[in-house]
Amino acid sequence: MNTHDTSHIRNFSIVAHIDHGKSTISDRILELTRTVDERDMESQLLDTMDIERERGITIKSNAVRVMYDADDGQTYQFNLIDTPGHVDFTYEVSRSLAACEGAVLVVDSTQGVEAQTVSNASLAMNANLDIVPAINKIDLPSAHPDEVKEEIEEDLAIPADDAVCVSGKTGEGIHDLLESIVFLISPPAGNYDAPLKALILDSYFDEYRGVVATVRVFDGHISKGDDLLMMQGGERFLVDGVGVKRPAEVLMDELGVGEVGFVVTGLKDPESVRVGDTLTYAENPTDEPLPGYREAKPMVYTGLFPVDNKEYENLRDALEKLHVNDPSLTWSPETSVALGFGFRVGFLGLLHMEVVKERLEREFNLDLIATSPSVDYHVFKTNGEMVGVRSPQDLPDVTCIDHIEEPYLKAKIICPPEYTGAVMQLAIEHRGVTTDMIHLTQKSVELHFDMPLAELILDFFDQLKSRTKGYASLDYEFSEYRTSELVKLDILLSGDEVDALSFIVHKDKAYTLARGLCDKLKEIIPRQQFEVPIQGAIGNKIIARSTVKAMRKDVLAKCYGGDISRKRKLLEKQKEGKKRMKAIGSVDVPQEAFMAILKVDE
C-alpha cells in the first residue's frame, strides 16, 4: 500500500453515554475484520486494565488498527479509538477526538439520547468531525430505534438517515456500520513530504523501552532512527521503533501521514513526554506546533494516607508512575495528626478517585486510607490575600477570613417528564437553582441547574439514580466561583479533634450533617473496651453528639464449641478488618469512617 496516499485511511473514535455499548461494538469490529482470532476473542478486548474489565467500564482510550475489506473491493485502514463514557473522563474523549476525522456515536435503542450522548455529540461537532450514529442493542425487545432516530435528529441536530441500527451482542448491522464508516467519514488530509507534525495522544512507561507514545501523524512520516524533537518539552531523541496495536503491538517500518500508532522514544524519564505535545523533525522542524490539549483540571481532592507510614515513599513513587499515562492526576504532601504523612491528591471526579485508589492498592500493593473528598475553595483573608484551600485542615482561622468562594457547576439532567419534580426537589436539597427546562421530546426533559460542586460530590449521583429509578442522566461542567457561607465542621472522638474527619460545609446544613455524621460514625466505629463519645463542633461550639458504648470485642464469643472453619473465618475477617483500622488516640477507627460523610442520609 502506498503510504503517501491517505484515501484508504479512516480515523474515528467511538463515543457514547456510559453503558450504551461502545466496547461491545469495538469487540465486534475486531471480530468481523478478523483482527483477532475467534479463539482469542474475549469481551471488552480494548479495556486492558483489570479494573476496566471487572467494572465493565472504559477508563482509558485505546487506539487499534484494523484492516477492512470493503464491499467496493478496496482494503481500508481503520484506526479505531475506544473512549470512556463517564462524565469524569470527558477530557479523555476530547483528546481522542483531536486525532480523528470522524466519530461513531453509539446510542442505546432502549434508552435513547442521554446526558453524555449530548455532550459527546457536541464535542464531536465542535471538532468538526463526520458523525455516524449507531443505534445499538436492537436485539432487545424493548428497543425503539425509530423513536431514537427522532431524538437524534431533534436533540442533536444530526441527520438520522445516516444512522445504522446494530447489535453489539449479535453482530447484526456491524457490516453496515463499517460500510458507513468508509463512506461517511473523510480520509485524513496531510502532506507526506512536509516536516513532521504528530500529536501525542497518550503515553506509557515501559521498563525496557522507556516512554512509548501513541501519536497521530498530521504531516510527514516517522521511522526508526529518525531524530525527533518534542516542540513544547524541548526533548530530543532518536526513534527506537514505530508500530501499531492490533491490539497486540506490531512493529512497522513507518508511520505514514494520517496514521495513528506508537513511537518508542527510548526516553527513560517518564515526565519527558507530555501528552498534547507535537513531535517534529529535529533538523527540519515544522513552523507551528499543533494546538494540543486544554489541561484537565482536577475537581475533587482527597487525602491519601498509607495505613503503614513506612509506605509513604512507595506511595509517592506509585503516584509518579500512574501520572505518566494519567496526566490529570495531581498531588502535594499532606500531614495529618491522625493519619500521619500522606498526599492531597486531585481527581477529575469521584469515579476517577475510586479508580486511582484501587489501582494504587492493586498494582502497587499499598494499603491506603482515603479521607472525605473536598473541592478547591478560594479563601479571601482580611489582609486581602487569597488562598486556595483543598483540605479542611488548611482553612485559616475564622478571625482571618473575610469570605470564602466555592466552585459552581452548570449541571444538565435529562429525564422522563414524570421525574421533573423529583429532580428539582433533589437539586434544591443540594443548593441547586433551576435555570432552564427544555422539553426535548414527549419522553424526555432537559433540566439545567447552577449548583455547587461540593454538593455534587456528596452522593448526588446515587440519589439522582434512586429517585428517578435510574432514568435520569447527568452531565456537568465547571462554571464559576461564587461566595458562600461556609464553615468548618470538626469531629471529636473522646474529646480529641480528629483532623482527618473535619470537613467544610454550608452553614445552613451544618447542624443536620453534624447530627447525621455523629450517628453514622456511631454505627461505623466498633465498640471498644471503653465508651467513645463522638461530637460535632463548629469552633468551640458542640452542635451534635453520640456515643459508642463500651464492649469487649470477642468475635469468637458467638461460636459455641467446635466449628473450627467458622472460627477461622471469623478470625480472618477480624484480621482483614484490622488492616484497615487506624488507631487514633486510643480509638480504633476503620477506613469507612473517613468517608462516612458520603453515606449520611440527610
For the window 418-447, what string marks contact with ligand GTP as x by the rule CB under 6 A?
------------------------------
Q: Which residues pair with 245 in a beta bridge?
A: 249
Nearest-approach distance from CB 349 to ligand GTP, in angstroms: 14
* Minimum CB distance to ligand GTP smaller for 212 or for 351: 351
Provide the residue count of the chain: 602
Nearest-approach distance from CB 260 to ligand GTP, in angstroms: 20
Taking the C-alpha atoms of residue 448 and residue 62, their distance in angstroms, rounded to an integer, is 32
* Minimum CB distance to ligand GTP smaller for 163 or for 198: 163
Nearest-approach distance from CB 47 to ligand GTP, in angstroms: 7
Taking the C-alpha atoms of residue 585 and residue 99, their distance in angstroms, rounded to an integer, is 54
- Per CB under 6 A, 113 contacts ligand GTP: no
Cell of 541: 461550639
Which one of residues 85, 220, 258, 346 is an interface residue with ligand GTP (CB under 6 A)? 85
Nearest-approach distance from CB 353 to ligand GTP, in angstroms: 17
| Residue whose grid cell is 485559616 | 396
Q: Which region among 52-60, 276-284, 338-346, 577-585 touches ligand GTP (by CB under 6 A)?
A: 52-60
Which one of residues 9, 21, 203, 404 is an interface residue with ligand GTP (CB under 6 A)? 21
Q: Is 438 annotated as a binding residue?
A: no
| Residue whose grid cell is 477492512 | 68
* Minimum CB distance to ligand GTP smaller for 21 or for 536: 21
* Minimum CB distance to ligand GTP smaller for 22 or for 245: 22
Q: Residues 356 to 375: which contact ligand GTP by CB under 6 A?
A: none
CA-wise closest residue to 76 among 35, 42, 37: 35
* Minimum CB distance to ligand GTP smaller for 20 or for 344: 20
For the window 23-42, what string marks contact with ligand GTP as x by the rule CB under 6 A?
xx------------------
- Per CB under 6 A, 20 contacts ligand GTP: yes
Q: Which region among 136-144, 300-308, 362-370, 435-443 touches ligand GTP (by CB under 6 A)?
A: 136-144
Q: What 8-state DSSP symbol labels residue 62?
A: E
Straight-line distance from the first to the last Cα atom of the chain, in angstroms, rounded to the nearest whole number:
64
Nearest-approach distance from CB 256 to ligand GTP, in angstroms: 30
Which one of residues 3, 32, 51, 139 is an interface residue with ligand GTP (CB under 6 A)? 139
| Residue whose grid cell is 524533537 | 229
Q: Which region among 163-171, 245-253, 282-290, 552-560 touches ligand GTP (by CB under 6 A)?
A: 163-171
Q: Is 4 annotated as a binding residue?
A: no
Residues 595, 505: contact at Cβ < 8 Å? no
Which one of residues 169, 321, 381, 522 is an interface residue with ligand GTP (CB under 6 A)? 169
Taking the C-alpha atoms of residue 452 and residue 375, their distance in angstroms, rounded to an integer, is 10
Q: Is 24 annotated as a binding residue?
A: yes
For the window 53-72, what string marks contact with ligand GTP as x by the rule CB under 6 A?
---xxx--------------
CA-wise closest residue to 312 among 345, 341, 344: 341
Q: Is 22 annotated as a binding residue?
A: yes
Taking the C-alpha atoms of residue 593 and residue 256, their distance in angstroms, rounded to an integer, is 55
- Per CB under 6 A, 46 contacts ligand GTP: no
| Residue whose grid cell is 487514633 | 584
- Per CB under 6 A, 104 contacts ligand GTP: no
Taking the C-alpha atoms of residue 88 and residue 476, their distance in angstroms, rounded to an integer, is 9
- Per CB under 6 A, 333 contacts ligand GTP: no
Q: Is 137 annotated as a binding residue?
A: yes
* Minimum CB distance to ligand GTP smaller for 16 or for 487: 16
Q: Which residues pair with 205 in a beta bridge?
A: 211
- Per CB under 6 A, 96 contacts ligand GTP: no
Q: Is 20 annotated as a binding residue?
A: yes
Taking the C-alpha atoms of residue 120 and residue 85, their distance in angstroms, rounded to an integer, is 9
Cell of 368: 491506603
Query: Exposure pattern of 184-218 as b/e (b: 16+ CB <10 Å)?
Result: bbebbebebeeebbbbbbbbbbeeeebbbbbbbbb
Q: Which helix (H) or strand (E) holds 133?
A: strand 130-136
Taking the C-alpha atoms of residue 32 and residue 362, their distance in angstroms, rounded to an integer, is 34
- Are β-strands 210-219 and 222-223 bridged in parallel, bridged antiparallel, or unpaired? unpaired
C-alpha neighbours within 13 Å on the C-beta side of residue 259: 30
Q: Is 19 annotated as a binding residue?
A: yes
Which one of residues 41, 140, 189, 337 is an interface residue with ligand GTP (CB under 6 A)? 140
Which one of residues 8, 22, 197, 359 is an interface residue with ligand GTP (CB under 6 A)? 22
Which one of residues 168, 276, 303, 373 is an interface residue with ligand GTP (CB under 6 A)? 168
Which one of residues 19, 320, 354, 497 is an interface residue with ligand GTP (CB under 6 A)? 19
- Per CB under 6 A, 90 contacts ligand GTP: no
Cell of 539: 469552633
* Minimum CB distance to ligand GTP smaller for 169 or for 443: 169
- Per CB under 6 A, 599 contacts ligand GTP: no
SS3 category, 183: helix
| Residue whose grid cell is 464553615 | 487
Cell of 437: 427546562
Nearest-approach distance from CB 136 to ligand GTP, in angstroms: 5
C-alpha neighbours within 13 Å on the C-beta side of residue 216: 31
Taking the C-alpha atoms of residue 459 and residue 62, their distance in angstroms, rounded to an integer, is 30
CA-wise closest residue to 136 among 258, 17, 295: 17
- Per CB under 6 A, 535 contacts ligand GTP: no
Q: Total residues contacting ligand GTP (rule CB under 6 A)?
A: 20
Taking the C-alpha atoms of residue 545 and residue 67, their distance in angstroms, rounded to an integer, is 66
* Minimum CB distance to ligand GTP smaller for 22 or for 274: 22
Per the annotation, where are the binding residues? 19-24, 136-139
Question: Could you list the residues that contact ligand GTP (CB under 6 A)?
Answer: 16, 18-24, 56-58, 84-85, 136-137, 139-140, 167-169
Per the annotation, where are the binding residues for GTP? 19-24, 136-139
